[in-house]
Amino acid sequence: MPELNLAQVRELLNKNWMTHDAMWFLHSLRECGMATANKLNLAAIDSMSRIEAGRYVRALGLDKVDTPEELRRFVEGVFNLAKADFMDFSYQLSDDGVLSMEMGECFAYHGIKRLGMLDQYQCGIYRRVEGWLDALDLSWEAEPRFEGCLKHQNGWCRRAYKIAF
C-alpha cells in the first residue's frame, strides 16, 4: 500500500464522508420524499454539528471560543481539517467578528440539480456552520436570511455571520 500524506488522508476521508452524506440524502429522498429528506437532513446536521464543534475545540487545544482570536483559530482549524479540495468555497474572518463565506461551484447544488430538485432543496451547508456557532455559545446574526438554496435562487451563494463577543 502506498504511503499517504496527511493532505491525501484528509481529502480521502472528506470525500468519503460527503459521499455518505449524499447517498444518505438520496436514499432518504427516494424512500420518504423531498420534504422528509430535507427535515431529516437538517435535523441530522443540527445534532452532528454541535457534537463536531466540541470535538474540534478539543482537537485544536482550545478551552473555549469567546474572543475574535479564538474564533479565528477555531475557523481556520476547522476548515484546515474539514475542507476538501473539491469544496469550492472561500471564507474571511474580520477582526471585529464577521465571518463571510462564499461558495463557488457548490457540490451540494450540483448534486441536487442532477436530481432535478433544486426548487425544493433546503441547504444544509450554512446550517452546519450555524451549529458550530451555537455549540460555541456565540451570539450571531446572518445575512442574507434564506430558505432553500441561495445559488438556485440568486445565482450566487454567499453569507456573512456577524458574531457578537
Q: Grid coordinates representing 141?
A: 446574526
Residue 108 pLDDT grade (very low, low, confident, very high; cuts 50, 70, 90): very high
The pLDDT tens digits for 37-50 are 999 999 999 999 99
Check if the beta carbon of residue 87 is closer than 8 Å to that of residue 62.
no
Residues 127-143 have a mean pLDDT of 97
Residue 99 pLDDT grade (very low, low, confident, very high; cuts 50, 70, 90): very high
Spatial separation of the C-alpha atoms in residues 139 and 153, rounded to whole Å:
27
Domains contained in the chain, CATH given: 6-164 (3.30.1380.20)
Give the least confident one: 26-30, 74-78, 80-84.
80-84
pLDDT surpasses 90 at 1? no
Residues 151-162 have a mean pLDDT of 97
Q: Please give the pLDDT value at position 124.
A: 95
Distances (CA, A) of 118 to 38, 66, 124, 158: 12, 37, 13, 17
Residue 24 pLDDT grade (very low, low, confident, very high; cuts 50, 70, 90): very high
Distances (CA, A) of 160 to 13, 85, 94: 28, 22, 11
